Structure 1
Amino acid sequence: MSENNFKKHRREGYADPSPYPAIAVQQSNIYYAELLIDDYAGMVSEFTAISQYLYHHYFFREVDEALGELLDNIAITEMLHMEILAELIRKLGGNPVIRGGSSTAGTFWSGSFVCYGHQLCDQLQADIQSEQKAIAAYREHIRIIADPNIKAILQRIILDEEVHIRLFNKALAKYCKA
């Protein structure tokens, strides 16, 4: 995917403005592909985040159109991350099917991975926690993976996830005053 495609899919204000590195790998590596499949569609993954944020979007937009738009645009950014991971997995020699790796013992993705929540504040807290868990998983994979190309891509994705945490915290402060 070229930088132009990244720009076309990036949602201004919902992602870090810095460019994404080129999607490249040093060589095929099934072990790395299996690590990334968890980021792609495991328990804590881009697919889980997309599903959770779209579910929350349906309720948030009833509270406030801008809040619904927040979740919609963050989900679109997560879709871009999923596309990047799929391309990485393929370049590493893997198959980006909708399943996890070690987090799911290789089984297919399940809707039970989504934290549905019962009310707006619970849902926003769950969204923040999902982003924090994703960052922790990406950092662990950066620690394990030796390929500098993959590390750079994962570090760049983390920048977007940090933006999402800030946006969710801002919404939490606005709608969930204690």
Structure 2
Amino acid sequence: MHEEPAELDYLSFVDYAIEKTHGELPAIDPTAMRLGLTLHRLASALVYDWESTVHRPRGWSWAGFRVLFVLWLAGPLEARHVARLSGMSRAAVSALVNTLERDELVTRTPAEHDRRAVQLSLTGAGHDAVVGAYQDHNARERAWASSLTEREQTVLIGLLEKLTTGDAAAAAKRRS
């Protein structure tokens, strides 16, 4: 190992971690480990960038934006469907909706078919806010994507979609 841990940065830690782990556990698959670490670090960096440059300045968390985004494109919806489409728990959506409702971005009404269920809708202000935010969000997406050619982007999307439909992904979905 060439660098000391204190000298590593976010990305060089991947090489260090693989080398160190493989030294102690020789049977690990270093390629799978690199893939997992790299995907996780990329996803974290993307979310941090979007949240810090687009959503936090608007007073939203990444999770709050995800709720607004789902309601913009698929709503009005019952809270349970918002949770499923945003990849969050029902409890998390319920807590977020308290804030979004207070900020007059979302309304909550009893569902017609089941008074215990709650239907969520964007307000006019919520619609305008998420549309404006998504334009800035997409500008950040384009900035990240610009590191790749259009062909590379297409190939990467295909590979990532293949991972999301594989056996491990199917097993994970069954557990949720």
Length-normalised TM-score, structure 1: 0.31
Length-normalised TM-score, structure 2: 0.31
Q: RCO greater where, 1 or 2, for CA within 8 Å and sep 6 or more?
A: 1
If you compute each CA radius of gyration, which structure gives the higher value, 1 or 2? 2
